[in-house]
Amino acid sequence: MSNQPATEDNHDEQKSKKPADTAFKQQRLPAWQPIITADTALPVFLIIGLLFIPIGIVLVVTSERVLEYDLDYTDTNCISSTGGNVTCADVLRSNNFTGASCNCTKTITLEQSYTGEVYFYYGLINYYQNHRRYVKSRDDNQLLGKAPPVSADCQPFQTSANGTAYTPCGAIANSKFNDTLTLSFNGTSVPLTNIGIAWTTDKAVKFQNPANPTTYFTNASRPPNWQKTPWDLDTSNNNTNNGYQNEDFIVWMRTAAMPTFRKLYRKLNLTNAGTFQNGLPAGNYVLTVQYNYPVTSFSGRKQFIISTTSWMGGKNPFLGWAYIAVGIICMIAFVIFFALHKTWKISSSPEISPIVENLSEESDNVTLLSSSSSVLVDTQQSNNLSSDSIDISSDDKSFNDQTSVGYLPNTDSSNSTMVIVTSPSFTSDLLSEQNDSIDQLNSSSLSFLQTKQRRIDHRRNKSEPIKSASTEDLASSTILDLSSNNESSIGKKSSVKLTPNNSSPLTTSKQITLEKVSSQSSTTSRKKKPWYNVSIISYYFFIG
Amino acid sequence: MGQNSSITRYFNRVHTPIRTNQNETSMDNNERRIITVNSGPQATKFISNRISTSKYSILTFLPKFLFEQFRKYSNIFFLCIVIFQQIPGVSPTGRYTTAVPLTFILCCAAIKEIIEDVKRHFQDDEVNRRRVLVYRDGAWIYTIWSEVKVGDIVKLVDRDYFPADLVLVSSGEPNGICYIQTSNLDGETNLKVRQGLPQTAHVLSSVQLKELQGTIECELPNRNLYEFAGTLKINSVAFPIPLCADQILLRGSQLKNTVWIYGIVIYNGHDTKLMMNSSSVPLKRTNVEQVTNKQILFLLLILIILCLFSTIAGEFWNYKNKDAHWYIGLNIGEDRETWRHIGFTFLTFFILFNNLIPISLQITVDFVKFIQAYFINWDRDMYDPETDTPASARTSNLNEELGQVKYIFSDKTGTLTKNEMIFKQCSIAGIMYGSGNVAEFNSYELLKNLEQHTTRDEIREFVTLLATCHTVVPENKVHTELPTEVVYQASSPDEFALVTAMKQIGVVFFSRTPDSVTINFRGEEERYDILNVLEFSSDRKRMSVIVRTPRNEIKLYCKGADNVIMERLATNDERAQLTSEHLESFATEGLRTLCLGYRILTKQEYDEWLVEYRQASTAINNRNDLVAEIANKIEQNLILLGATGIEDKLQDQVPDSLIKLHKAGIKIWVLTGDKKETAINIGYSCKLLTDQMLNIILDEENLENTQRQLRQHCQRFGDSLCRENLASLVIDGLTLKYALDASCRSDFLKLAISCKTVICCRVSPKQKAEIVELVKQSTDAITLAIGDGANDVGMIQTAHVGVGIMGREGVQAACASDYTIGQFRFLTKLLFVHGVWSYRRLCKVILYSFYKNICLYVMELWFAFHNGFSGQILFERWTIGIYNVLFTAAPPMAIGLLDRCCNTETIMRFPAIYKMSQNRTDFNIKIFWTWCLNAVYHSIILYFMSYTMLKHDVAFSNGQVGDSLFLGNMIYTYVVFTVCLKAGLESDSWSLFTHIAIWGSIASWFIFFAIYSYVWPTFPVAPEMRGMAKYVFSTPYFWFGLLLIPITTLFADFVYNCIQRTFYKTLMQEVQEKEVAHQDPSDLVNSRQPPTTSRVAERLALLKSVFVRPKTPKTTGISDRPYHGFAFSQEENGVIPQDQLIRNYDTSIIKPSGL
C-alpha cells in the first residue's frame, strides 16, 4: 500500500483510547470512611448527652416561667346575662344560629400578676380549620384588593344570590371568629389593642384594601355569616385596621394546623400608664363576652386564654423535656456501650497481642491463625513432636453458644491436645476455593474417609516424631471428620479445648495466641448463613 | 434491524441524491437481484452501504422517545396523576405539581438518550468512513465504505475487512484462492478458503478487469450465512456461470494470508448477511429491577389500600359532620352524586399519596447507571494497550447484575486462549527437549544431539517429517533463497506453529510446487516429492504424506493423536513407553500433543497400494470411506519418532483470573466448539481442571446411556448434589444433545451445578444458548456469558449479562454484548470492582429513594388524622412537587456514584467479598420493607415531635401564632435534614462530593425556602408562603427543633449501625475497618484460609479412590488419567480438499500485483 495517500497514514495514527487518569474517572477520590462502632460512637453519645441535658433544663425552666390562664366559656361558664339561667350557647341554638347575639360575664381570678407583655387568645377545640375544603376556600388575589371575578376556589361562598362576589369570599372569611371579649379589673376595663397581632408581612403585603375601599365594600356583598361589612370591622384606627387589613381578619385567615388551636386576640396595651403599666396585677377580673360564634353544633369548645411569653414564645415544656429525655437516653447508651466496649476489649486481650505480633513477625507470616501454626513449626524445631490421638468431640453439646476457652486438666503431662473450632463465618470462605467443597462432601465418602483417617491415625501413633506436613494432613482429615457433623451441629460458636501440660513459656504464649485467635474469630462474625463453613484446625503438640 | 431500515432509507435519500434520479425499472426484482458489472449504471436502485445502528434520527426522536418512556409503568402512573390533577376540585396539590417534575425527569431521560445515540451515530460514522479501493470508470480510486455501491469492484489487501458482501473475482494467490477468517460471523477461527471462478481467476490486472463485463443474477438479500445462489454472466462467455457460497466473501469477515483480491459488491449496507443477522439486543431486565418492580406493585397496592381507607374515613367524617361543621360549607352547594363524590375523594387521596412511589426513582437509577457505565469505560485497569481498546459498557442497565454473577459461561477460543499456537516441547526417541517454563522452544540441545547423538537419525526424521507433512504454504516475500524471509500461510495454527519452529532450528520449508516441497535442511537444499496426501479428518485423527526423499526412498510420514499412532506402531518398545510418559507430562502442562511416526515403503509395496488408492479415490459411491480405508492400510507398522507439545497460548492471566472467579464463588462453564481433547487440555492449562478434582466425563452415543450415566453420577454425589463440590464435568456435544432432552434435563442440571467447572465440547451456537437458558431458567442465579465470536452471540444474548471480548477477532459478539472488554482477565475487575460497587450503590439508591419518599409523604396520612381525612396537605404544593427533583436529588446521586465499600485493591485481592453481593444480601424483600418501615418510623417521630412542639401555636415572643404551613415548613425542613443525614449515615465513604451533595441539598432547601417566601404577589404563586421564611427562621422553636428532632429520628439508626458494626460485623465491614486502619486485611482474610493445597490434594486423592470403581473410565465416565489432547484444527470438508490445496501452490512463480 505504498501508493496510499498521505492522509491515510494520518488517519491510521489515531489517538490512543486509553482513558484519562483522573481521580474521579478512576474512582479514587479521597474519601473519609466513617466507621460507626461502639468505639467511635462513644464520644458522640457523650457529646449529645452533655449538650442536650443542659439545653433541656434551660428550656423547661423557660417554659415554666410563662404564666397562662385559660377559661372555657363555651357553655356553663357563659350564662346569658339577660337572665333565665340559660347558656349563651343555648340562646344561639334556640335562635337557630340566625345571628342572634348573647352577652355574658364571668369572673376570673389571676393568682399571680402577669408582668410584661400579656397576650389574650381565643382558643377553639375540635374546629377543623385545616379541612381541605375549608383551607382551599379563599381567594388571595381578592385579598390583594384586586377586582372580581373571584376564584372558584371560594365555593360555596363565591358569589351571593344576586351574583356579586362575596367580599371577602370563601369559607374561611365567612366563618371569621366574631365573639367580642373584654376584660375589666375592678371596674376599669383592661386596655387592649388589636394592632400588631398579625404577621407584619401579611398586613404589609398579602392583605391590601382596594383603591377605593368605601365604595368597593359597600357595593359588594358581605359574606353570609357576617353581621358587618368588611369596612366596618374596625373604624377606630383611621381605617388602617379595616377592610381586608383588619388584623383580626388577617389572624383568622391564617388557618391553624390542628383542630385544636388558639389565635391571638388582643394584646395588653402597655403604653397606657396606670394599673396595667407593668402587666396584669393579680386579682379578680370580669370577662364580658359578646357570644356570637356557635360551636356547639360540632361539639367545639371555645377558650379565653391569658398568657405571657418567654423569649421562646408560649408555655410548652415539651421541647425541654424532649431534650432532657434524648440526652438521658444518650447517656444510657454511652454507659451501655462503654461497658460493652470494655468487656469486648478484655476478650480480645490486648496485653498479649504484642506476643502475637512478635510471633507473626518472627515467622514472617501475617495471618493470625497461621501465626499460631508457625508457632507450631518453631516448636517443632526445639521440641520433639509426636502425634497424638485426636480429641474431637462430635457431641453437639460441646459446641457452646459462646466462645469457650476451657482448660481441661490432663493427667498425662506429656500430652496436650488442642482443638480449635473456629466459628463459621463469612471470612471462613475467604480465599477458600477448596474449603467450600469440604463441608459438602458426600457423606458416604466421608464415612469412608473417617475410617481411612483412623487408619492413618493409628499408623501415625506408632510412628516416630512427625513432620509438620503430616500434622497438616491430619488436621485436614480432621476437618473432614468434623464437617460430617456439620448438618446436625453446625457449631456456630467457637469451642476451644485446651489441655495444657507444663507451663513452659512458649506453650503459654501459644495458648494465648490461640485464645486470641478464637476470640477474634468469634467476635468478628456470628451471623449464621447457609454458606458458612466450619473450619477446624487442630494442633497436636507434644513436648518432651 | 427492521425499525432501523426505515431510518436508513431516510439517510439514503439524504445522502445519495444522485441515486434517486435513476429510473426505477419495472424489472422483475421481486425474486432476484440483477447487478451489472462494469457496464454502466445499475438497472435497479439499491440501498447504500451506509449502515446505521442508532436508535433515533432527528425526525423520529420525539415520537419514539415518548413511546419508549411511556412504556414504563412508573411514567404511565405519573402521567395518570398528571391527568387526575386536571380535574377541578380534586387535586389537593394543584394542577401542575406532578406535570412539572415529570417533564423535568423526561427531559433528563431525553438528554441521556441523545448522548447515547450520538455515540452510536459516531460509531456508525467511523465504520462508514473507512476507506476502500474501488475500481470505477477504469481507474482505482479511494472511497469511503458508505460510498461503495452494488456492482462496484473493490480491491482488498491482506487483513482488510470486507466492506460489503462480495463475489470473489480473483486473488493474488494461484487459482483465485483466498483465505478468510470468519470468526466474526460464526466464531470459527481457522482460516477458510474461498476460490474465485475459474473463468474469472485470470483477471489479475486493471486492464483485464476492465474487460470483465457482464451481469450477476442472485437471490435477494437474506440472512442465511452459508448459502448463496446466483449466476455470473460474462459478456465474453456464452453461458452463465453458477456462483455458490464458495465465491462469497461476507461483510464482517477478514482477508487473511492473501496478498489481494478483487471482488464485486453484491449486497451492501443493511442488505449484507451480517447486518441481516444482527438482531436488536433484547431488553434485559435486572434482578434488582424485577424485585423493585414487584415491590412497587406492592407499594401501589398499599397506596390503594391507604387511599381506600382514607376515602372511607373521609366520607364517614363528612357524613357525620357535614352539617355540624357549618363553617366548612360542606352542606351548601354539594351537588355531586354520592358515588361520584366518593370517586373524587378517592382520586384526591390518590394524588395526595402518589408520591409514596418515588417519581424520581427511574431517572435517578438510570442516571446513576449511566455514569457507572462511564466509570467502566474510563477504567484504566481494563484498558488493553495491545489493541487499544478500553472496556465499554454498551448498555448501562445491567451494571448491578455484574455484582451478582454466579455462573460464567465462557467461550474458549479467543476468550480464554489467544488462538496462537507455539511449539514448546518435543520428545524424540525417548528424549525430551524443551521446557514448559520458557516462552519458546529452546533448540540448543536438540541441535547438539542432531549433530552427534545416537538418536540423531531419528531427530533428522522427526524434523523432516514436521517440515514436509503439512498443508502449509510458504510465501517468499521477496523471491529469494534466503530462508528467513519465508512467511507461512496455514489454515491450521498447529501446523503453522510446527513449521515455524522448524524454521527456527534451521530446517526451513521454503518452497512448494504442486508435487514437491523443498526444504533447506541447515544449509542443504532438499527436495521431497509429494506422492500422496492422506488427509486429516476428525475420524482419522491423523494425517500422512507419502514422499520420495532425495535419496530416492519412499517414506510415509504420519502425525496424529497419540492413541491413533500408538496402535499403529510396529513394535511397542521401551521408547513408546517413554514417549507416552512424555506425552503425559505435556498434557499435564496443558500442551496439545501430536505423535509422529514414519515408515519406509518399498517400491513394490507402494505401487500395489497406489493402485488400490487410485481406485478408491475415483470411486463414485462412498469415496471418502473407501479412501480412508485404503489409507488405513498403509498407515500401519509405523516407527515411532516422538511427540510434540504445542501450547495453545492462553490470554494473559487467564488461570489467575479463573482462580479468582472460583474463589468468588462463581462457577465456570466453558462452552466450546472444540474437540473434547482440546477442551480438556485447555481446561488443564488454565487450571479449571486439576488432578485433585473429581473429573467426570460424559461421552455417550445415545439417550439411554446418557440417562443412565447421569443418574449414576447423581446418585454418587448423594447429599452433596447441587452443592459446590470440587468436581468437574466434561460433556460432549452429542451427549449434551441427549442430556438436554426433557427426560435427562433435571439430572444433567443437578449434576452440572454440583460441579465447579463444566466443560461442554463440540457445542453448536444454538446449544450454547440452550445451556445458558437452562441454567438461567432452573436456577435463580445470575448468569454471564463471555465470548468473542459470532457463535457466542446466542449465549451472550440469552445470559443475564453478555460480555464480549473486543479486539483481535472482530465485533459481532461485541455488538451483541452488554459489555465489551479487551481481555478475559479484565472480567475480574469488571465483576469484583464495578459489579460489586454498582450493585451496592444501586441497592442503596433504590432503597434510599423509597425511604425518602415514604418518610415525607406518609406524613400526609398522619396529618389526615388531624384534618378529618379531607386530603389537606401539610406542606406547600410546589415544595412537595420538587422534593424529589431538587432537595433530595443529590444525596442518592452521591451514593450511586461515589460510595465505595472498600477500595479497588482490597476487592481485587479478596474475591470472597464478592459472595456478599452475589448472595443478594444488600437488596431483598426483607431489606426493602425494613427500609420502608424505617421510613414510616422516621416520619412518625418527625411529625409527632414537631406537632407536640408547636401544639400551643404560640411560637413567638411577641405572642403571635403560626399556622398550618408554618408547622408544615418546619417539618419539611426537618425531613430534608433527616433524609440527607440518613444518606450520609448509609454512605460507606464520604468524598468531597458527598459532602457537597448532603450539605448542599440542605442548603438548597434553605435558599429555596427563603426565596420562595418572597415571590407572592410579584409572581402569582404560593401566596400562603409569603413571609414564611422570615417567621420560621425567627422562632427559637425552629432552631431548637432542628437540633433535636433529626438527631432523635436518626438515633435509632445510629445505634443500630453501631451495634451491628460492633457485634454482627459483615465481612465487608471487617475489611473496611482494616482498610481504614491501614492494616493489611490479609490478616483477616487469611485467618480463614483453608489448609494448604497439599492437604486438599491428599484428601481428594482419597476421595477419588472412593469414587473410582474398578471399571474402565469409559463406563464409569471418570477419567483416571490426564487427557492428551491432540493438536489439529484443520478445516474439514472445505471448498478445496487439503490435497488439492497444497497442489495448487507453486511458490516458484511470482504472484501478480493486482494493479
Residues 143-202 of A with CB under 8 A from B: 144, 152, 155-157, 171, 174-175, 196-202
Lowest mean pLDDT among A295-299, A520-524, B104-108, B295-299: A520-524
User: Which positions ≥6 away from A306 have C-beta within 8 Å?
Assistant: A68, A69, A70, A110, A114, A118, A119, A120, A121, A280
Do residues A361 and A521 lie in contact, with contact meaning Cβ atoms separated by under 8 Å? Answer: no
pLDDT > 90? residue B438: no
Query: If we measure between CA atoms, which residue out of A164, A154, A167, A171 comes closest to residue A208?
Result: A167
Question: According to the annotation, is B988 in a ligand binding site?
Answer: no
Query: If we measure between CA atoms, which residue out of B662, B1070, B784 comes closest to residue B906?
Result: B1070
Chain A: nearest CA to B313, how far in angstroms? Answer: 13
Record: contact B1058-A367, CB cut-off 8 A = no
Query: Mean pLDDT, to the nearest integer, of B997-1024?
Result: 92
Q: What is the pLDDT of residue B334?
A: 61
**B1058 in contact with A, Cβ within 8 Å:** yes
SS3 B754: coil
Q: What is the pLDDT of residue A461?
A: 42
Cα distance between residue B114 and residue B705, in whole Å: 56
Domain assignments of chain B as residue spans, ordered by start: 148-278, 385-416+656-823, 417-649, 833-1079
Strands B801-805 and B819-821: parallel
Q: What is the pLDDT of residue A512?
A: 39
Q: Could you tell me what percent of chain B has a pLDDT over 70?
A: 87
Query: Mean pLDDT, to the nearest integer, of B415-442?
Result: 80
Average pLDDT, chain A: 68
Nearest residue on chain A to B717, alpha-carbon basis: A442
The model's confidence at residue B1054, banded by pLDDT at 50, 70 and 90, is very high
Between these two residues, A364 and A332, which has the higher pLDDT value? A332
Between these two residues, B1115 and B482, which has the higher pLDDT value? B482
Cα distance between residue B225 and residue B187, in whole Å: 12
Record: contact B870-A132, CB cut-off 8 A = yes
Nearest residue on chain B to A448, alpha-carbon basis: B1106
State the Rg of chain A over Cα. 44
The model's confidence at residue A215, banded by pLDDT at 50, 70 and 90, is confident
pLDDT in tens, B229-279: 888 888 877 788 888 888 889 888 888 778 889 999 999 888 888 777 665
Query: Mean pLDDT, to the nearest integer, of B547-574?
Result: 86
**B131 in contact with A, Cβ within 8 Å:** yes
Question: According to the annotation, is B541 in a ligand binding site?
Answer: no
Record: contact A432-B1076, CB cut-off 8 A = no
The model's confidence at residue B982, banded by pLDDT at 50, 70 and 90, is very high
Record: contact B959-A59, CB cut-off 8 A = no
Cα distance between residue A164 and residue A172, in whole Å: 18
Lowest mean pLDDT among B342-356, B794-808, B946-960: B794-808
Q: Give the closest of B327, B966, B1055 to A333, CB-based.
A: B1055
Record: contact A264-B388, CB cut-off 8 A = no
Between these two residues, A199 and B792, which has the higher pLDDT value? A199
Cα distance between residue A498 and residue A514, in whole Å: 9
Residues of chain A contacting residue B1057, judged by C-beta atoms under 8 Å apart: 36
Tell me which residue has cell 501475617. Answer: A366
Chain A: nearest CA to B364, how far in angstroms? Answer: 19
Record: contact A427-B957, CB cut-off 8 A = no
pLDDT in tens, A392-431: 333 443 333 333 333 334 334 333 333 333 333 333 333 3
pLDDT in tens, A228-287: 888 888 888 778 888 888 999 999 999 999 999 999 999 988 876 678 888 889 999 999
pLDDT > 60? residue A204: yes
Question: According to the annotation, is B78 in a ligand binding site?
Answer: no
Backbone angles phi, psi at B402, to 5 degrees: -60, -25
Query: If we measure between CA atoms, which residue out of B671, B734, B815 comes closest to residue B252?
Result: B815
pLDDT > 90? residue B227: no
Residues of chain B contacting residue A8, judged by C-beta atoms under 8 Å apart: 131, 142
**B1095 in contact with A, Cβ within 8 Å:** yes
pLDDT in tens, B506-552: 888 888 887 888 888 888 888 899 888 888 876 787 889 999 998 88
Lowest mean pLDDT among A444-458, B348-362, B688-702: A444-458
Record: contact A132-B871, CB cut-off 8 A = yes
Per DSSP, B1151 falls in state P
pLDDT > 90? residue B912: no
A–B CB contacts, 8 A cutoff, strictly below: 442
Residues of chain B contacting residue A202, judged by C-beta atoms under 8 Å apart: 1026-1027
Question: According to the annotation, is B673 in a ligand binding site?
Answer: yes
Residues of chain B contacting residue A440, judged by C-beta atoms under 8 Å apart: 719-720, 723-725
Record: contact A432-B663, CB cut-off 8 A = yes
Lowest mean pLDDT among B126-135, B867-876, B1115-1124: B1115-1124
Record: contact A427-B1085, CB cut-off 8 A = yes
Q: Could you tell me what percent of chain A has a pLDDT over 90?
A: 23
Question: According to the annotation, is B674 in a ligand binding site?
Answer: yes
Residues 262-321 of A with CB under 8 A from B: 262-264, 267, 294, 297-299, 307, 309-316, 318-319
Is B158 an active-site residue?
no
Q: Give the closest of B328, B966, B992 to A133, CB-based.
A: B328
Highest mean pLDDT among B383-387, B1043-1047, B1058-1062, B1103-1107: B1043-1047
Question: According to the annotation, is B536 in a ligand binding site?
Answer: yes
DSSP assignments along A166-182, one per residue: BSS-SHHHHT----EEE
Mutate to test the interface with B, among A4, A427, A528 (most CBs of B within 10 A): A427
Cα distance between residue B951 and residue B658, in whole Å: 65
Lowest mean pLDDT among A312-321, B640-649, B823-832: B640-649
**A437 in contact with B, Cβ within 8 Å:** yes
pLDDT in tens, A336-370: 888 887 776 555 433 333 323 333 333 333 333 33
E-only strand ranges, B186-226: 192-195, 214-219
Neighbours of B91 (CB within 10 A): 24
Question: According to the annotation, is B762 in a ligand binding site?
Answer: yes
pLDDT > 80? residue A533: no
B595: left (phi over 0), alpha (psi -120 to 50) or beta: beta
Fold of B417-649: Calcium-transporting ATPase, cytoplasmic domain N (3.40.1110)
Nearest residue on chain B to A318, alpha-carbon basis: B949
Query: If we measure between CA atoms, which residue out of B409, B417, B536, B413 comes closest to residue B470?
Result: B536
pLDDT > 50? residue A129: yes
Q: Give the closest of A319, A434, A435 to B1041, CB-based.
A: A319
**B239 in contact with A, Cβ within 8 Å:** no
Record: contact B952-A527, CB cut-off 8 A = no
Residues of chain A contacting residue B719, judged by C-beta atoms under 8 Å apart: 440, 442-443
In sequence order, what are the beta bridge partners of B755? Answer: B725
Q: Give the closest of A41, A426, A435 to B1067, CB-based.
A: A426
Q: What is the pLDDT of residue A327?
A: 95
Q: Give the closest of A140, A258, A472 to B866, CB-based.
A: A258
Query: Mean pLDDT, to the nearest integer, of B273-294?
Result: 75
Per the residue annotation, which of B165, B411, B732, B818 is the catalytic one? Answer: B411
pLDDT in tens, B581-609: 888 888 777 777 888 999 999 999 899 99
E-only strand ranges, A339-465: 404-407, 415-421
**A475 in contact with B, Cβ within 8 Å:** yes
Nearest residue on chain B to A424, alpha-carbon basis: B1088
Between these two residues, B708 and B722, which has the higher pLDDT value? B708
Nearest residue on chain B to A534, alpha-carbon basis: B1088
Chain B: nearest CA to A411, how far in angstroms? Answer: 31
The model's confidence at residue B921, banded by pLDDT at 50, 70 and 90, is confident
Q: What is the pLDDT of residue B308?
A: 94
Q: What is the pLDDT of residue B3?
A: 39
Chain A: nearest CA to B695, how far in angstroms? Answer: 14
Mutate to test the interface with A, among B877, B1058, B1064, B1070 (most CBs of A within 10 A): B1058
CATH number of the domain located at residue range(s) B148-278 in this protein: 2.70.150.10
pLDDT > 90? residue B388: no
Record: contact A434-B726, CB cut-off 8 A = yes
pLDDT in tens, B50-90: 888 778 888 889 998 999 888 888 889 999 999 999 988 88
The architecture of the domain spanning B385-416+656-823 is: 3-Layer(aba) Sandwich (3.40)
C-alpha cell at B640: 515411532
Record: contact B1085-A430, CB cut-off 8 A = yes
Query: Mean pLDDT, to the nearest integer, of B1077-1082?
Result: 65
Record: contact B1061-A36, CB cut-off 8 A = yes
Cα distance between residue B512 and residue B518, in whole Å: 6
The model's confidence at residue B335, banded by pLDDT at 50, 70 and 90, is low
pLDDT in tens, B394-425: 877 888 889 999 999 998 877 888 877 888 88
pLDDT > 80? residue B327: yes
**B1035 in contact with A, Cβ within 8 Å:** yes
SS3 B224: coil
Q: What is the pLDDT of residue B1000?
A: 95
Mutate to test the interface with B, among A11, A18, A33, A114 (most CBs of B within 10 A): A33
Angle among Cα B641, B645, B646 to the nearest 5 degrees reads 135
pTM for the model: 0.77
Q: What is the pLDDT of residue A172?
A: 92
Cis preceding linkage at A168, omega within 30:
yes
Chain A: nearest CA to B342, how far in angstroms? Answer: 15
Nearest residue on chain B to A41, alpha-carbon basis: B1058
